Amino acid sequence: MQVRPLGRTGVELTVLGMGTWAMGAGKRRTSNLGPADDEESVATIRRALDLGINWIDTAAYYGFGHAERIVARALRGMRERPLVFTKCGLVPSEVGDFENRITAASIREEVDASLSRLETDVLDLLMIHWPIPDEDLEEGWSTLVDLKAEGKIRFTGVSNFSAAQMARCELIAPIDAIQPEYSLVERTAEKEVFPYAEAIGIGAVTYSPLKHGLLSGRMTRERVDALPPADWRHGHAEYTEPQLSENLRLVDALRVVADRHGRTVSEVAIAWVLRRPCVSSAIVGPRRPAQFDDLVGAAELQLLDDDLAAVEADLGASSGLPR
């Protein structure tokens, strides 16, 4: 599979990464992702590696450690392990699902727990999951820098940070990687985050290229109407009018491009994300091995100028950017 450099780290990542968010489903008190089958999760990770994917994205928050344990189980006994990236900063709460905590003591506790669950001596990359609370940002980032110096993590990164918050981190130590959400219907990163990263050479690994199925080509109005009340997408702006109609029209435009190339709608949507110069890799999160059949072709798909023009012409107002 095609690889790209991760910014200035010297590491090369396959352009698709294996995401494990859904693999922690059902393990949190307020989870609404639906059940996940652990055997299928392990098989899906191994299928990703068979396809040549060389890195896995996970987080302590995904099932509060469950996804990390699944990753460790899938990799157990392998002679050549892929890179495993994880995140910290969301911890269980006694009054709700989680609380944001990025103090030095909390991050160190999380790191030791992640090392144990992942059955490793060093984390390939650790990211602060969210920059909350903002007043603890410098303490949290300094802690990651110290952990890197101590040899517990190889690279440091941030997820869901603004450009201004990234700049505050860079005053302390360079950022190795960022993880913003990015898709055809979530383009906020184009305004400031990507330009900042491109200016100083930070690599991006993006998440939700299909906006949780919305851009897969399989989401219909009838399927949206049938979403159970507990599903987080029920009532979300992207899944309600007027944006739902705009998004479904966008999917129709993607389908035209997909048919032209003999690809799936999902592959075109992911390839659109990968067109951005600073995007090293896009995270995909299938729950079952067979779901890769609709995704993996994105790694080799090169969209033409006419393809991009056709897609851009149908972008909905939900992007927040001019058409």
Q: Give per-residue pLDDT as tens, 37-88.
A: 999 999 999 999 999 999 999 999 999 999 999 999 999 999 899 999 999 9
Residue 320 has pLDDT above 70, yes or no: no
Active site residue 196: no
Predicted local confidence at residue 219, as pLDDT: 84
Q: Which one of the listed residues 61, 62, 182, 196 is annotated catalytic?
A: 62
pLDDT on residue 323: 24
Distance CA 209, CA 216 (A): 9
| Arithmetic mean of pLDDT, 215-235 | 81
Tens-place pLDDT, residues 302-315: 999 999 998 888 76
CB-based contact 119:73 (threshold 8 Å): no
Torsion of CA 88, 232, 246, 301, to 10 degrees: 50
Q: What is the pLDDT of residue 34?
A: 67
pLDDT in tens, 138-186: 999 999 999 999 999 999 999 999 999 999 999 999 999 999 999 999 9
Residue 221 has a pLDDT of 83
Is-cis flag, bond preceding 322, omega within 30? no
What percent of the chain is predicted at pLDDT more than 70?
Answer: 94
DSSP element (H, E) containing 12 = strand 12-14
Please determine, for residue 322, whether its predicted confidence score (pLDDT) is greater than 50. no
What's the pLDDT band for 32 if we cut at 50, 70, 90?
Answer: low
Residue type, 191: K
Q: Which amino acid type is present at position 111?
A: V
Model confidence band, residue 321 (pLDDT cutoffs 50, 70, 90): very low
User: Regarding predicted confidence, which is higher, 230 or 116?
Assistant: 116
Average of pLDDT values for 120-128? 98
